[in-house]
Amino acid sequence: MPNDIKITTADRAGRKTASSGSKWEPLMGYSRAVRAANWIAVTGSVGINADGTYSKSLGDQTRRSLDIIRAAVEALGGQIENVIRTRMYVTDVSKWEEVAKVHGEVFGEIRPATTIVEVARLIDADAQIEIEADAVVG
């Protein structure tokens, strides 16, 4: 996992939240991930690099998004094996095989429920994919 993904956690009202330092988190009032009891919900994560740029490769963006999700799940006491669902939003569903290859590398043995849908646009014009994940720990 890249060492530039830094997740901080805080306890709030009996739940833990994780922040990745995204510029959107305080602006929109959300957390990268929230853990309540044994449930971890990871917000939609685009494949943005540490320097604020995006790879031109959909596969690379998918990998980066999943790295961010993994870091958030681990920060809240889970493991990638605890993921039970992913939702993938792509700007060009005809490239689904690029996404599937990377998703399969991470989740091939875990096999969470998943969805992939095409959307008109994501939060940044260069973002090609955004992935959400849910995990159950213990």
Residue 85 belongs to a domain with what CATH number? 3.30.1330.40
Is residue 2 a part of any domain in this protein?
no
Helical spans, DSSP H, in the chain: 24-28, 58-75, 96-107
- Count structural domains, the chain: 1
What mean pLDDT comes out for the span 73-93? 97
Amino acid at 76: L
d(CA 34, CA 134): 10
Is residue 3 a part of any domain in this protein?
no
Q: How many C-beta atoms surround the C-beta of residue 137 within 10 A?
A: 15
User: Among 14-28, 100-114, 116-130, which is the least confidently predicted range?
Assistant: 14-28
pLDDT band at 7 (very low <50, low <70, confident <90, very high): low
Give pLDDT tens digits for 23-42: 778 899 999 999 999 999 99
Is residue 101 a part of any domain in this protein?
yes
pLDDT band at 4 (very low <50, low <70, confident <90, very high): low
Domain extent, residue 76, equals 8-136
| Contacting residues for 135 by C-beta, under 8 A, at least 6 apart | 39, 40, 42, 73, 78, 82, 83, 84
Give pLDDT, residue 49.
Answer: 93
Give pLDDT, residue 117.
Answer: 98
Is residue 63 a part of any domain in this protein?
yes
| Contacting residues for 113 by C-beta, under 8 A, at least 6 apart | 84, 85, 86
Give pLDDT, residue 26.
Answer: 87
What is the torsion angle, in degrees rounded to the nearest 10, for the CA atoms of residue 9, residue 11, residue 16 and residue 19? -30
